[in-house]
Amino acid sequence: MTEHEGAPSLDMVAAALRADSTDVAIYARVLTQSLGEALPSDCVTVDRERTLSDRMRGRPGEISRIVVRLGDQQMTLAVRDGQPLAEICRTVRGVVLSRQAVPVGEWAAALASALVAYAEQNAQAARALRRLVAGG
């Protein structure tokens, strides 16, 4: 996939991922929706915390963690006490070999890079990335 084919560049994807990162709750919702549409279900896991009120009203609850698995990378963005916790892990066959806590900006850049690499081999992901970059 090249930029000449109308595909988003790494910089464009990274900018789109960073666009809403100041409010962690909004960022988590945007990522969940965008990544949920772009990637197969086995690549994205979303954990939610549901209060009793959420359960009684049938609401999904607040997003507490997003895990994205692409290739040998596992990227996790969690929210604890209103603060983002981002980490990048290297895995082999589901076993975590290394774990590194990183700032959210670095996490977004690593995610963008992994998404662009994935989209080069997957047409559905490429279309979803174009929608993410376009803001729709």
Contact 68, 111 (CB under 8 A): yes
Against a cut of 0.85, is the pTM above it?
A: no
- The confidence band for 134, taking pLDDT boundaries of 50, 70 and 90, is low
Measure the CA–CA gap between 17 and 88, rounded to whole angstroms.
16
pLDDT at 136 over 60: no
Structural domain including 115 reads 3-134
Overall domain count for the chain? 1
